Structure 1
Amino acid sequence: MMSFYRKYYKTVFDIALIVLTVYLFMLLFSYLYRIATPIFLSLVIFAIIEPLAKRLHRLGMKKSLASALSTLLFILVIAGILFGLGAVITIQFSNLSDKIVLYTGQIQSLVQDQSGTWQKQLEGVVPPDILNRLQEYSGTALKWLSGWSATFFGALISWLTSFSSFLVNFLIAIILAYFLSIEIDTWKRLAGEKTPRTFKTAFTFLRVNVLAGIVGYLKAQMKLISVTFVVIFVALLLLRVDNAFAISVLSAVFDLLPLLGVSTVFVPWIVYLFIVGQTTLAIWLTALLAVVLLVRQILEPKITGDTLGVSAFTMLAFMIVSLSLFGVAGLILSPILIITLKALLEQGYLQRWIRLPEEEFDTPPWARGGSGPQA
């Protein structure tokens, strides 16, 4: 044991120091996010309205007027989405939640009605106690599915219908974004003059290696889920499926999440349709699922190009841990941090910061890392 400590104490210390730094940074960000949510939202809104304001300003319009027009256009678009699509989504999600509870009840009743027939067919093949246990497990699973679905859609509907605190923060953020758009040149000049070189270097590293990659990746994912939404929505309308818009939105959301995808929505639905005897619709939905997956496999390499290079499991696991420890702020920041760590590895910084006992490895442990940061 002592030999292990003598070999790895430097490695453990270096890793612990990095983990502590990440933890403190996440803790600080979560605290700042709680007390200054409108400021963080204003940065996002500023990134949306500034390109148009800058273009209008270059055409000769006064910056304050250009920022006002860009902000007004943003408000009109957001208002249309909130009051138009929001009402439709709320109604359809409410109907969808009620139907899922109804469908799970129908499946449970079907299982109970057919249990006697199945038991007679399986007598002598499967012991009675196992059949009873399977029936009990299926009933428990269906109750859990019904409860989970009701809770999920109930929480979603509650969020859509009662978001007064978010709306207040959002309105404040719009005002802050407008003033930031007017004063951005002053802030840039002040930051260039007063920021220490170390922080300038860190910001440049984040902008070049992290933020640009995240923005490009998010744009690519938005394109992909937009294609998914359109294909599913049009197909469901042609099949005359109720709540087509809500189902398409839900499918697009699951398509964005790592390790989940559209199959999370369609597979249980298709299984239910086969069980209750709606075979024709089940076959059409199976074909639709195959088309959506095939289209995504074809378009993803062309749209995303070079991906972030972080596995879906790693990303999702880090997001879950961050959400548990730091709440929404941790969920927001976790992709940035994990991609930053990947960039630090590729640029050779982790190789310098973490000391490893070279004699413990047959090949250099950082053989696949970058060539190291430039001096």
Structure 2
Amino acid sequence: MFTYYKRYARTAFDIFLIVFTVYLIMFVFSYVYNIAKPIFVGFVIYLMIEPLARFLHKRGVKKSIATTISTLVFVLIILGITVTVGIIFTLQIHQLAQSLPHYIYFFQEELIAKANYVQMKLNALPPGVVEKIGDYSQIIANKSSSFLSGLLLGLFNFLTSIPTLVMNFVLGLILAYFLSLEIVQWKRLAEEKTPKTFKKAYYFLKENVIKGILTYVKAQLKLISFTFLIIYFGLLFLGIENSFSISLLSAFFDLLPILGVSTVFVPWIIYLFIIGRITPALWLGLLLLVVIVFRQIAEPKITGESLGVSAFTMLSFMVISLSLFGVAGVILSPVLLILIKALYEKGYLKKWIRIPKEEYEEK
């Protein structure tokens, strides 16, 4: 055993240094992200408005005017989408909220009727079996209550954070505007003052990571868009009201790690089964199955082609990052995973991690 530890001591130390470096980067990024969110938002907005501003500037338009036009176009597009989607979503959610008391009353009536029927059947069972069923039912009820409480708390926290999100967006928009105006000076400063080692690292990141991240974001947007369209047209085909809001809500949950569209569909299907609407429940189950199968087929293809990283690896890394560093970890985890993949393909990891040569047969 001692010989084994001695043989792999250097390898373990090298791996520890890499893991520690990744952890340190995640920790620093999460700290900086929490205190400088508007700056990150501003940089993202800058990436959106700069192409049009650069295009207009090359056509002879003054940079300040080109940036102003590009910013106004961006704001008008965002406002148009937000207002249109917001009005439709609000109206359908309001309609659903008005119908909710009727659904709850009908659900309670059906649940009481089925509970009475089950109680009659349970009276014929031995007392021990009834007690075990009661214990299991209590456990299921507690788990369901905890899940719903957490879901509602998360939704409440999101709603209460909307003013902060709006403020961050406005500050980010202002920062993006000034960054677009001053980008030439910032590039010149970076070119003159940045050491060669950091320049080399930046070009490596630009070539191997940044392009991969943009491709990854496009791939995720494709998947979410397809999911939204499948659910929307499926609900329209089934004649279900508020199809747009339900599809939008499903796409939102599909965006979040772990949750997915099942968060919306599974409780809905269970509710329909309880109230005796078997046919709609089966159709919704079929629609959910179609979405799941589509994700299983399309996600490895789209994401895999864009990153070359398996969906399991990406999701596992995102889950761990979310647990350790919150939202900042989820944002940075694809960057680091793509970086590690690029370092492996370029041969850097083989140079940095010393592995005993006698452990592998020479080919």
Superposition TM-score tier, normalisation by shorter sequence = 0.7 to 0.9
Contact 1:63-1:182 at 8 Å conserved across structures: yes
The aligned amino acid for 1:23 is Y
Offset of 1:92 from its aligned partner?
Answer: 5.3
Distance 1:185 1:15, change over 3 A: same
Distance 1:298 1:357, change over 3 A: closer
Contact 1:43-1:177 at 8 Å conserved across structures: yes
| 112, 115, 118: which one aligns with 2:118 | 115
Contact 2:254-2:260 at 8 Å conserved across structures: yes
Offset of 1:271 from its aligned partner?
Answer: 3.7
Cα deviation code 1:187-216 (max 9, x no counterpart): 222222221121112112212222211211
Instruction: Identify the residue that residue 202 of structure 2 maps to in structure 1.
Output: 203
Offset of 1:165 from its aligned partner?
Answer: 2.4
Matched ranges for 1:51-62 at <5 A: 51-62=51-62
Matched ranges for 1:35-184 at <5 A: 35-86=35-86, 88-89=88-89, 95=96, 102=104, 109=112, 112-119=115-122, 123=125, 128-160=127-159, 162-184=161-183
Instruction: Identify the residue that residue 313 of structure 2 maps to in structure 1.
Output: 314
Other structure's SS at 1:269 match: helix
* Structure 2: distance between partners of 1:77 and 1:285: 34
* Structure 1: distance between partners of 2:304 and 2:9: 41
Cα deviation code 1:161-205 (max 9, x no counterpart): 542222222211101101111122222222222211211121122
Instruction: Identify the residue that residue 372 of structure 1 maps to in structure 2.
Output: none
* Structure 2: distance between partners of 1:209 and 1:96: 48
* Structure 2: distance between partners of 1:128 and 1:136: 12
Offset of 1:117 from its aligned partner?
Answer: 4.4
* Structure 1: distance between partners of 2:182 and 2:255: 35
Instruction: Identify the residue that residue 280 of structure 2 maps to in structure 1.
Output: 281
Instruction: Identify the residue that residue 264 of structure 2 maps to in structure 1.
Output: 265
* Structure 2: distance between partners of 1:349 and 1:98: 60
Contact 2:42-2:172 at 8 Å conserved across structures: yes
Matched ranges for 1:214-225 at <5 A: 214-225=213-224
The aligned amino acid for 1:269 is W
* Structure 2: distance between partners of 1:272 and 1:180: 51
| Runs of 5+ unmatched residues, structure 1 | 368-375
* Structure 2: distance between partners of 1:105 and 1:351: 63
2:29 maps to 1:29: yes
* Structure 2: distance between partners of 1:202 and 1:251: 40
* Structure 1: distance between partners of 2:261 and 2:352: 41
The aligned amino acid for 1:262 is V
RMSD over aligned Cα, in angstroms? 3.3
Contact 1:38-1:172 at 8 Å conserved across structures: yes
Distance 1:99 1:151, change over 3 A: farther
Question: 283-292 vs 41-50, which deviates more?
Answer: 283-292
Contact 1:46-1:178 at 8 Å conserved across structures: yes
Offset of 1:267 from its aligned partner?
Answer: 3.8
Cα deviation code 1:261-302 (max 9, x no counterpart): 434433443343233221221232233334444555676577
Distance 1:162 1:338, change over 3 A: closer
Instruction: Identify the residue that residue 247 of structure 1 maps to in structure 2.
Output: 246
| Runs of 5+ unmatched residues, structure 2 | none
The aligned amino acid for 1:72 is L
The aligned amino acid for 1:313 is F
Question: 14-23 vs 110-119, which deviates more?
Answer: 110-119
* Structure 2: distance between partners of 1:167 and 1:220: 26
* Structure 2: distance between partners of 1:148 and 1:97: 24
The aligned amino acid for 1:66 is A
TM-score, scaled to structure 1: 0.82
Contact 1:90-1:157 at 8 Å conserved across structures: no
Contact 1:41-1:173 at 8 Å conserved across structures: yes
* Structure 2: distance between partners of 1:55 and 1:16: 47
TM-score, scaled to structure 2: 0.85
